[in-house]
């Protein structure tokens, strides 16, 4: 198997795994999703703010309430950033396609998946479709693709200089 084919296959499998993971997380009802977010926020507070455990439960709740939304949105951005990066690797391996299309397709894939993910949440108890989340997800995808393109172009220039 050629190196390019192997890279494409592994990247495609990673992309599908991320999409399945996002789908499963979006399929949680509001209570499950909230518990996951608050549990993650609690663990982050314990890890980065050691005095957090010395606070009373009401004080902990006040501290966590402000950060829980931030943790949720950072998770959205991070998952879609990863999706954008992996999708970029999948599409960049198609050398017969123009660079413009190889960059556009991962963005299109990620944004389309973000929209479908939010629509999926309309059918889950207590969840909703939020345009803000589509925008956060899309920003993650676009930033990953631009960063990956920058790295890719650096690699190409370096390879050309060695010739």
User: Which sequence spans correspond to the domains of the chain?
Assistant: 3-162
Residue 124 phi/psi, 5-degree rounding, is: -110, 135
pLDDT bucket at 95, cuts 50 / 70 / 90 = confident
Six-digit token pair at 17? 């795994």
Structural tokens at position 63: 């501290």
Other residues' Cβ atoms within 10 Å of the Cβ of residue 147? 14
Distances (CA, A) of 85 to 4, 36, 106, 147: 16, 25, 8, 8
Judged against a pLDDT cut of 80, whether residue 25 lies above it is answered with yes
* pLDDT bucket at 141, cuts 50 / 70 / 90: very high
163: pLDDT strictly greater than 80: no
Q: Which is nearest to 19 in space by CA: 117, 140, 139, 133?
A: 117
Which pair of tokens denotes residue 98? Answer: 């123009």
Q: Where are the alpha helices (DSSP H) in 27-56?
A: 30-48
75 with 44: CB under 8 angstroms?
no
Percent of the chain with pLDDT over 90: 68
Q: Dump pLDDT digits (tens) for 30-80.
A: 999 989 998 898 888 888 888 888 888 888 888 888 888 899 999 999 999
Which segment of 14-28, 46-60, 147-161 scores lowest on mean pLDDT?
A: 46-60
Task: State pLDDT tens for residues 107-128.
Answer: 999 999 999 999 999 999 999 9
d(CA 141, CA 139): 5
Question: What pLDDT is recorded for position 48?
Answer: 85
First to last CA, the chain: 25
pTM: 0.89
**Is 89 within 8 Å of 12 (Cβ atoms)?**
no
Angle between helices 57-92 and 3-26 (to 10 degrees): 150
Looking at the chain, how many residues does it have?
Answer: 163
Q: What pLDDT, on a 0 to 100 scale, did the predictor assign at position 47?
A: 87
């Amino acid at each position: 198997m050629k190196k390019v084919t192997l890279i494409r296959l592994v990247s495609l499998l990673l992309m599908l795994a991320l999409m399945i993971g996002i789908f499963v997380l979006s399929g949680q009802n509001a209570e499950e999703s909230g518990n996951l977010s608050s549990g993650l926020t609690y663990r982050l507070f314990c890890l980065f703010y050691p005095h957090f455990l010395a606070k009373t439960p009401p004080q902990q709740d006040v501290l966590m309430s402000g950060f829980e939304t931030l943790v949720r949105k950072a998770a959205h951005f991070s998952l879609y950033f990863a999706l954008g990066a992996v999708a970029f690797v999948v599409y960049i391996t198609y050398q017969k396609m123009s660079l413009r299309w190889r960059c556009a397709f991962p963005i299109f894939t990620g944004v389309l998946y973000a929209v479908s993910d939010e629509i999926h949440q309309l059918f889950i108890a207590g969840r909703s479709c939020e345009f803000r989340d589509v925008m956060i997800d899309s920003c993650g995808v676009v930033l990953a693709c631009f960063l990956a393109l920058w790295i890719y172009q650096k690699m190409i220039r370096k390879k050309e200089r060695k010739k």
